[in-house]
Amino acid sequence: MVKCEVCGKEFKNGAGLVGHMRMAHPDSVPVPSSELLSSLNSIHELLNTVAKSLKELHDVVIHPEDLGQLIADAIHGSNPGKPEPEPEPEPNPGRPAFGSFFKRS
């Protein structure tokens, strides 16, 4: 006998339980206990990380005179913790730039 974990009804075999689940409990999907526990642990760790980040942000003070620069940095994608990209090398001085071939005299 196979028992429905949602309502407790018993069936002769797995096929009977599958049909019952489709008809009686279409929104219920059986999840193995170990898989559920692993998912809950992951969610718990994520929530702890978010809580720590929020606590750190709570102590941050933004002075009104700094707000304009913060907004400008956000708009232009500036990141003070990230180095600026290397500038592109200058074209070879012995060769004309590609665009100069197409200039009209």
What is the dihedral sign for C-alpha 49, 55, 61, 67? positive
Q: Judge contact between 11 and 20, C-beta under 8 A.
A: yes
Look up residue 13 and give its DSSP letter.
S
- pTM of structure: 0.31
- Ordered by start, the domain boundaries in the chain are 1-32
Q: Which fold has domain 1-32?
A: Double Stranded RNA Binding Domain (3.30.160)
Mean pLDDT of the chain: 76
pLDDT tens string, the chain, 105 residues long: the values are: 899 988 999 999 988 988 898 899 888 866 667 777 888 889 999 988 888 888 777 777 778 888 888 888 888 775 555 556 666 666 665 555 555 545 554
Retrieve residue 87's tokens: 């500038």
By three-state DSSP, how is residue 98 classified?
helix
DSSP string across 61-95: ---HHHHHHHHHHHHHT--TTSPPPPPPPPPPTTS
